């Protein structure tokens, strides 16, 4: 079912490419070269941000639907690179987590270097029912812990998923907050608490 | 010396925002602000008027107006030109959007230097942008007309294909592409609805409402600005004003909006 759709999709792109005499791979390479020429470093946003890592490359080449063996190989590598807290403690303070979830700051060229990054959570997810201004790009996380419980396995899964969503689903829309250093270990712990602490408004 | 002032100003702004938020739901406050602006008419009209004045005034080292500028329909034809842009121009042998074409005319006809013209393309209260005003004037002359952008020329077709690649390209520290936010129906960031630019209907709705007067910025913003600020939020480095990459992306969006009735300059949050 999915395979058929992909084949159809690739066929359409190949046809579109024929009209210019450019294959999809060629227009992709031209686009990449053009971007590297037409973008410039500004503030903390350096031009090196246009260099694809292997995950981005696979997701771009396969339209976010890589073959199973590619996805598995890269997910395993991403998973192996997750640094879990040495002290084994994964739950922080949900109140700090809520503040982080509210903040969409960080990593743009208008952010100053060294200022703490936000978690951007409410941009895409529903969390606390008290916050009505939430985005819908990601699934609702309301009652996240109530549904899943608070076991060590769930804590580890939740920490890992925030640290690097691509270790679980290679072409997930979600940023790799720990992997790229956007959030610190302590910040991720606070977010895990926001999702799992029974006292957190997410679970009321 | 400047920093402490800035910090104090930011703290004050944050404090007053917090007070405001307590008094009134910020969404409602925002909507009320819209209505107020709309009741007064769209301030974009002021930019259109200033743009027309600039278009007709002799300026620059050559002391020439822009009245002989060819926007694709022949020298001096402004009516309907924007609804057919971006397009291929033989004299530059390039596909150009309105804004990069304006820069061409300001350099070739008026004798300005391109680097001076594009130094500060996005205006502020104390530094108004000529490019924003000129753009407002030209787009206003396509109001009510159907978008009809050609991809027949090989370079137009190529720009479209490259623009599409840029639209879907995931990159930067957050792995975002344009498509991450603009690839599905009914999505939003916080309460802000996101147009799905991969459908004809979504592309038409979004594209035909830009450029727009941005209430939150107090300025008229162009399509170049729209892309520039999207790339900022995408955590990308900065796209150069009027560059081929931005024109290609504009080509993809504009051609996807073909058939939609152009309705700008609009007014936005």
Of B154, B171, B244, the CB nearest to A34: B244
For an interface test with B, the pick among A21, A31, A42, A123 (most B C-beta atoms closer than 10 Å) comes out as A31
- B5 CB burial (10 A radius; 0-12, 13-18, 19+): exposed
Output the pLDDT for position B28.
66
Is residue A6 scored above 60 in pLDDT?
no
**Cα separation of B155 and B248, whole Å?**
10
Distances (CA, A) of A100 to A12, A131, B15, B267: 42, 13, 19, 32
Question: Is residue A36 within 8 angstroms of chain B, CB to CB?
Answer: no
Question: Is residue A135 within 8 angstroms of chain B, CB to CB?
Answer: yes
| Closest residue in chain B to residue A177, using alpha carbons only | B174
Output the pLDDT for position B31.
66
Whether A63 and B168 lie within 8 Å, measured CB to CB: yes
Confidence of residue B19 (pLDDT cuts 50, 70, 90): very low
State the average pLDDT for chain A.
92
Output the pLDDT for position A57.
98
Output the pLDDT for position B24.
60
Output the pLDDT for position A145.
98
Confidence of residue A204 (pLDDT cuts 50, 70, 90): confident
Question: Is residue B28 within 8 angstroms of chain A, CB to CB?
Answer: no
Of B162, B180, B186, the CB nearest to A31: B162
**Cα separation of A74 and A76, whole Å?**
5
Output the pLDDT for position A94.
98
Q: Do domains B44-140 and B154-268 have the same CATH topology?
A: yes
B29-74 residue pLDDT tens: 776 676 666 657 889 999 999 999 999 999 999 999 999 999 999 9
Rg, Å, chain B Cα set: 19
Question: Is residue B79 within 8 angstroms of chain A, CB to CB?
Answer: no
- pLDDT (average), residues A37-55: 98
β-pairing verdict for B266-268 and A39-40:
unpaired
* Residue numbers in B near A139 (CB within 8 A): none
Of A31, A109, A134, the CB nearest to B169: A31
A62-80 residue pLDDT tens: 999 999 999 999 999 999 9
Question: Is residue A32 within 8 angstroms of chain B, CB to CB?
Answer: yes
State the average pLDDT for chain B.
90
Q: Single out the residue of B24, B139, B149 nearest to residue B82, CA to CA.
A: B139
Indicate if B230 belongs to the active site. Answer: yes
Q: Are B127 and B190 in contact (CB under 8 A)?
A: no
Question: Is residue A151 within 8 angstroms of chain B, CB to CB?
Answer: no
Question: How long is chain B?
Answer: 269
Phi, psi (rounded to 5 degrees) for B125:
-45, -45
Is residue A90 scored above 80 in pLDDT?
yes
Over pLDDT 90: what percentage of chain A? 88
Output the pLDDT for position B76.
95
Q: Compute the nearest-CA separation of B156 from chain A (Å).
A: 9
For an interface test with A, the pick among B159, B171, B191, B233 (most A C-beta atoms closer than 10 Å) comes out as B171
A138-187 residue pLDDT tens: 999 999 999 999 999 999 999 999 999 999 999 999 999 999 999 999 99
**Pairs across A and B, CB distance < 8 A:** 136
In degrees to the nearest 10, what's the CA dihedral of A183, A185, A188, A189?
Answer: -160
**Cα separation of B108 and B95, whole Å?**
17
Output the pLDDT for position B38.
66
Q: Single out the residue of B110, B73, B170, B57 nearest to residue A176, CA to CA.
A: B170
Q: Domains of chain A, with CATH numbers?
A: 2-65 (no CATH), 94-203 (1.10.760.10)
Question: Is residue B157 within 8 angstroms of chain A, CB to CB?
Answer: yes
Domain ranges in chain B are: 44-140, 154-268
Is residue B141 scored above 70 in pLDDT?
yes
| Third-level CATH fold of B154-268 | Cytochrome Bc1 Complex; Chain D, domain 2 (1.10.760)
B189-230 residue pLDDT tens: 999 999 999 999 999 999 999 999 998 999 999 999 999 999
Question: For the structural domain made of B44-140, what CATH number should be given?
Answer: 1.10.760.10
For an interface test with A, the pick among B24, B155, B160, B174 (most A C-beta atoms closer than 10 Å) comes out as B174
* Tally of CA atoms within 13 A in the half-sphere of A177 that contains its CB: 27
**Cα separation of A19 and A101, whole Å?**
46
B220-256 residue pLDDT tens: 999 999 999 999 999 999 999 999 999 999 999 999 9
Question: Is residue B240 within 8 angstroms of chain A, CB to CB?
Answer: yes
A204 or A38, greater pLDDT: A38
């Amino acid at each position: 079912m999915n395979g058929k759709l992909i084949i159809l999709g690739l066929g359409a792109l190949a046809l579109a490419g024929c009209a210019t005499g450019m294959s999809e791979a060629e227009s992709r390479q031209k686009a990449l070269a053009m971007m590297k020429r037409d973008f410039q470093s500004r503030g903390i946003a350096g031009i090196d941000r246009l260099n694809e890592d292997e995950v981005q490359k696979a997701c771009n080449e396969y339209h976010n639907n890589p073959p199973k063996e590619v996805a598995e190989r890269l997910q395993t590598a991403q998973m192996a690179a997750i640094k879990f807290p040495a002290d084994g403690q994964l739950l922080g303070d949900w109140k700090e987590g809520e503040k982080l979830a509210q903040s969409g700051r960080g990593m743009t060229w208008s952010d100053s270097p060294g200022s703490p990054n936000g978690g951007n959570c409410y941009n895409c997810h529903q969390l606390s029912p008290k916050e009505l201004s939430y985005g819908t790009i990601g699934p609702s996380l309301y009652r996240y812990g109530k549904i899943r419980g608070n076991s060590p396995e769930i804590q580890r899964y939740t920490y890992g998923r925030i640290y690097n969503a691509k270790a679980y689903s290679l072409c997930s829309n979600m940023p790799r907050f720990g992997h790229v250093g956007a959030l610190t270990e302590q910040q991720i712990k606070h977010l895990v608490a926001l999702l799992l602490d029974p006292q957190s408004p997410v679970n009321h | 010396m400047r920093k402490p002032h800035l910090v104090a100003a930011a703290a004050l702004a944050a404090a007053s925002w917090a007070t405001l938020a307590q008094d009134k739901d910020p969404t409602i406050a925002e909507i009320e602000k819209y209505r107020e602006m709309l009741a007064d008419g769209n301030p974009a009209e002021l930019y259109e008027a200033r743009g027309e004045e600039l278009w007709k005034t002799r300026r620059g080292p050559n002391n020439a107006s822009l009245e002989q500028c060819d926007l694709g329909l022949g020298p001096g034809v402004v009516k309907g030109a924007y609804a057919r842009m971006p397009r291929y121009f033989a004299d530059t042998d390039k596909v150009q959007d309105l804004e990069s074409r304006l820069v061409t005319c300001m350099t070739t006809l008026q004798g300005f230097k391109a680097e001076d013209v594009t130094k500060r393309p996005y205006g502020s209260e104390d530094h108004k942008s000529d490019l924003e005003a000129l753009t407002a004037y030209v787009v206003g002359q396509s109001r009510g007309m159907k978008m009809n952008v050609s991809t027949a020329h090989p370079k137009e077709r190529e720009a479209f294909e490259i623009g599409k690649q840029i639209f879907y390209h995931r990159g930067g520290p957050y792995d975002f592409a344009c498509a991450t936010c603009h690839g599905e129906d009914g999505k939003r960031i916080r309460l802000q609805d996101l147009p799905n630019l991969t459908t004809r209907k979504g592309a038409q709705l979004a594209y035909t409402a830009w450029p727009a007067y941005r209430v939150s910025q107090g300025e008229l913003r162009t399509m170049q600005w729209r892309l520039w600020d999207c790339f900022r939020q995408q955590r990308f480095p900065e796209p150069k004003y009027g560059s081929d990459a931005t024109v290609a992306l504009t080509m993809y969006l504009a051609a996807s909006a073909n058939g939609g009735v152009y309705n700008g300059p609009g007014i936005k949050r």
